[in-house]
């Protein structure tokens, strides 16, 4: 009996302590253009990066065949020299319909925790890209209703070859188009600005003394900028391979406080919110405290992606600084009349601050050090020949 017991114990020990063989994971050959020490972005397991997918995605990104009426491509609203944003207040789709939002820059999107201006559940590009492609409100590329016709346009010798290379012989499909576009957009990495040379490569001469002063101001508790625009990507909404704890921050900056004339009680109490056209995260969450909350965008290349804010309602970087110094925006006339500074859901960090002319110059000088010229002119991101 004792013998049996002993052998059972031995077996139990052996079973308990032998480790399952580690799963061999495919090591992606794709080389991220990032300097030593920077964490790599996290990519969905179902769509690992490859140079072939990036190459196909680039062709598709610039191809007007992706819009139903062959008038627009992704690049129509996402222009490289503007950090893949555009100098329009809000975007205009392929039918001429106006979008309610400003085209966000496509900079380091691979690191984004969430996508679009205000959606806490939209966390992969593969899902986000469906919006401009198939969305009907507003119509952007307008593929819905024309999907067979649009897909047929990619049945060419050139594309068949690119699809074969990127997807091991598979024929063009929307799933693969989305995967390739996602891969190209993830490849748009900008980490080679004068600021990076100063901060991460230790080059003390990479930025001017004015920019240095501006940087110290930017990161001061007086200005509080870095509470929302913190971390290496200048947005708290960042995720990467070493970021194991999830946070999805959204903020109300006091841009609006529209008094609703249909609500007499609110009128009297002076309680308003963001314009009904766009109430930010509250539209998704259905929570009143999320009214006016939007994702803080990265500030990398911010100097070239004017105009600013989710609706492009601030024209210049200088005006943005004035807006934050004032602790919000008061609109005295028109349909959006109201004092955003008093918005009850405004972030606690938007308190306003005193800023001298010199401070402002220094802050602007600092923000310009985030412009990465090699990104804006990178031939690998240009329209393919």
Which CB sits closer to other proteins, 180 or 191?
191
Residue 273 φ/ψ, nearest 5 degrees: -160, -160
Q: Choose which of 287, 377, 380, 382 interacts with other proteins (CB under 8 A).
A: 287
Q: How far is the CB of 61 from other proteins (least distance, A)?
A: 28
Give the three-state DSSP class for 58. helix
The rounded distance, in Å, linking the Cα atoms of 378 and 383 is 11
Which CB sits closer to other proteins, 30 or 349?
349
Find the part of the chain contacting other proteins (CB under 8 A) among 40-48, 95-103, 130-138, 229-237: 229-237
By CB under 8 A, tell whether 360 contacts other proteins: no
Contacts (CB under 8 A) with other proteins, residues 181-210 = 198-200, 204
By CB under 8 A, tell whether 243 contacts other proteins: yes
Which CB sits closer to other proteins, 246 or 265?
246
By CB under 8 A, tell whether 20 contacts other proteins: no
CA distances (Å), 333 to each of 111, 165, 258, 291, 362, in order?
39, 57, 11, 21, 32
By CB under 8 A, tell whether 264 contacts other proteins: no
Q: How far is the CB of 285 from other proteins (least distance, A)?
A: 4
Q: Choose which of 88, 212, 303, 319 interacts with other proteins (CB under 8 A).
A: 212
Q: How far is the CB of 244 from other proteins (least distance, A)?
A: 4
By CB under 8 A, tell whether 5 contacts other proteins: yes
By CB under 8 A, tell whether 48 contacts other proteins: no
Q: How far is the CB of 347 from other proteins (least distance, A)?
A: 9
Q: How far is the CB of 8 from other proteins (least distance, A)?
A: 5
Which CB sits closer to other proteins, 1 or 148?
1
Q: Closest by alpha carbon to 235, among 109, 355, 353, 122? A: 109
By CB under 8 A, tell whether 174 contacts other proteins: no
CA distances (Å), 17 to each of 4, 13, 364, in order?
20, 6, 60
Contacts (CB under 8 A) with other proteins, residues 63-122 = 120-121
Q: How far is the CB of 3 from other proteins (least distance, A)?
A: 13
Cα end-to-end distance, the chain, whole Å? 81
E strand residue ranges, 182-323: 258-259, 272-273
Residue 240: CB partners within 8 Å, gap ≥ 6? 39, 40, 41, 42, 111
CA distances (Å), 3 to each of 7, 9, 16, 113, in order?
6, 10, 20, 58
Residue 339 φ/ψ, nearest 5 degrees: -100, 100
E strand residue ranges, 206-305: 258-259, 272-273
Contacts (CB under 8 A) with other proteins, residues 334-353 = 344, 348
CA distances (Å), 127 to each of 44, 57, 174, 178, 205, in order?
11, 15, 12, 8, 42
By CB under 8 A, tell whether 37 contacts other proteins: yes
The rounded distance, in Å, linking the Cα atoms of 314 and 348 is 21
Mark 317-336 with x for binding to other proteins (rule: CB under 8 A) and - for no binding.
--------------------
Task: Report whether 176 contacts 170 (CB < 8 A).
Answer: yes
By CB under 8 A, the count of residues binding other proteins is: 46
Which CB sits closer to other proteins, 58 or 295?
295
Which CB sits closer to other proteins, 58 or 119?
119
How many CB atoms neighbour CB 339 within 10 A? Answer: 17
Find the part of the chain contacting other proteins (CB under 8 A) among 157-165, 226-234, 305-313, 331-339: 226-234
By CB under 8 A, tell whether 146 contacts other proteins: no
By CB under 8 A, tell whether 148 contacts other proteins: no
The rounded distance, in Å, linking the Cα atoms of 291 and 152 is 42
Give the three-state DSSP class for 128. helix
Contacting positions for other proteins (CB under 8 A): 1, 5, 8-9, 12-13, 15-17, 37-39, 120-121, 198-200, 204, 212, 215-216, 219-221, 226-227, 230-232, 236, 238, 242-249, 281, 284-285, 287, 290, 344, 348
């Amino acid at each position: 009996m004792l013998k049996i017991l002993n052998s059972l114990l031995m077996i139990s020990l052996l079973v308990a302590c032998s480790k399952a063989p580690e799963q061999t994971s495919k090591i992606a050959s794709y080389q991220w253009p990032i300097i030593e020490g920077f964490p790599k972005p996290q990519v969905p397991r179902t769509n690992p990066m490859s140079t072939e997918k990036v190459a196909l995605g680039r062709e598709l990104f610039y191809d007007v065949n992706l819009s139903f009426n062959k008038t627009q491509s992704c690049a129509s609203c996402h222009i490289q020299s503007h950090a893949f944003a555009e100098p329009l207040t809000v975007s205009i789709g392929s039918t001429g319909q106006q979008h309610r939002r400003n085209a966000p820059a496509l900079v380091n999107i691979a690191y984004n925790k969430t996508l679009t201006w205000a959606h806490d559940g939209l966390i992969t590009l593969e899902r986000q890209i469906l919006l401009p492609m198939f969305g009907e409100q507003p119509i952007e590329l307008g593929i819905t209703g024309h999907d067979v016709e649009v897909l047929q346009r990619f049945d060419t010798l050139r594309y068949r070859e690119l699809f074969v290379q990127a997807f091991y012989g598979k024929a063009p499909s929307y799933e693969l188009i989305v995967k390739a576009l996602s891969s190209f957009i993830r490849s748009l990495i900008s980490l080679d600005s004068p600021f990076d040379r100063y901060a991460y490569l230790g080059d003390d001469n990479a930025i001017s003394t004015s920019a240095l002063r501006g940087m110290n101001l930017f990161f001061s508790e007086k200005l509080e900028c870095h509470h929302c625009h913190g971390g290496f990507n200048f947005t708290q909404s960042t995720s990467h391979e070493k970021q194991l704890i999830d946070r999805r921050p959204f903020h109300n900056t006091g841009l609006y406080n529209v008094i609703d004339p249909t609500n007499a009680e609110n009128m009297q109490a002076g309680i308003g919110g963001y314009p009904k056209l766009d109430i930010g995260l509250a539209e998704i969450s259905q929570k009143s405290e999320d009214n006016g909350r939007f994702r803080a965008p990265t500030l990398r290349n911010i100097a070239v992606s004017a105009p600013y804010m989710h609706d492009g309602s601030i024209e210049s970087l200088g005006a943005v600084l004035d807006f934050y110094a004032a602790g919000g925006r008061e609109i005295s006339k028109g349909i959006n009349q109201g004092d955003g500074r008093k918005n009850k859901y405004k972030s606690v960090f938007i308190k306003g601050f005193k800023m001298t002319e010199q401070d402002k110059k220094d802050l602007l000088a600092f923000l310009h050090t985030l412009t990465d010229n090699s990104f804006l002119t990178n031939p690998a991101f240009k329209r393919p020949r």
